[in-house]
Structure 1
Amino acid sequence: MSHMGAWAHIREDRTLYREGWLAQGLWALAIHRLSAGRFARRRGVVRSLWGVAAKLAGKWAEFACGISLPETATIGRRLRIEHFGGIVVHGSTVIGDDCVLRQNVTLGNRSEARPLEAPILGNRVQIGAGAVVLGAVRIGDGAIIGANAVVLSDVPAGAIAVGNPARIIERASV
Structure 2
Amino acid sequence: MFENIRADLRAHGGDWGAQGFWVLLVYRFGRWRYGVRPAVLRKLLSFVYKFLFKLVQILTGIELPCEVVIGRNFVIDHFGGIVISGYARFGDDCRVRNGVVIGLKNVDKPIAPVLGNNVDIGAGAKVLGNIRIGNNVVIGANAVVLTDVPDDSIAVGVPAVVRKRQYAAEGNLHEPVDGPCQAASHR
Give me the TM-score of the superposition, normalised by structure 2: 0.85
What amino acid is aligned across from residue 128 of structure 2 in structure 1? L
**Where in structure 2 are the equivalents of 1:1-16 lying within 5 Å?**
6-16=1-11
Report whether the alignment pairs 1:147 with 2:141: yes
Stretch moving more, 15-24 or 155-164: 15-24
Equivalent-residue separation in structure 2 for 1:120 and 1:22 (angstroms) = 29
2:104 to 106, 109, 113: 109
The structure whose Rg is larger is 2
- Counterparts in 2 of 1:20-169, with a 5 A limit? 20-41=15-36, 44-114=39-109, 116-169=110-163
In structure 1, the gaps of 5 or more residues are 1-5
Q: Which amino acid aligns with 2:161?
A: R
User: Can you give the 5+ residue segments of structure 2 that lack an aligned partner in the other structure?
Assistant: 172-187
Partners of 1:59 and 1:106 lie apart in 2 by 18
The two structures, once aligned, show a CA RMSD in angstroms of 1.5
8 A Cα contact 1:117 1:135, kept in partner: yes
Cα distance per residue 1:42-61 (max 9 Å; x no partner) = 67111111111111111111
**Take 2:112 and 2:40, find their aligned partners in 1: how far apart are those partners?**
30
The secondary structure found in structure 1 opposite 2:16 is helix
The secondary structure found in structure 1 opposite 2:32 is helix
CA distance in 2, matches of 1:11, 1:170: 35
SS at match of 1:37: helix
**2:74 partner amino acid:** L
- % identical equivalent positions: 44
Counterpart residue identity of residue 161, structure 1: A
User: What is the CA distance between 1:18 and its match in structure 2?
Assistant: 3.4
Alignment length, in residue pairs?
168
Task: Please report the TM-score for the alignment, with normalisation by the length of structure 1.
Answer: 0.91
Give the counterpart letter for 2:159 in structure 1. Answer: P
Give, in angstroms, the shift of residue 34 of structure 1.
Answer: 1.1
Structure possessing the higher relative contact order (Cα contacts under 8 Å, 6 or more residues apart): 1
Secondary structure in 2 aligned to 1:48? helix
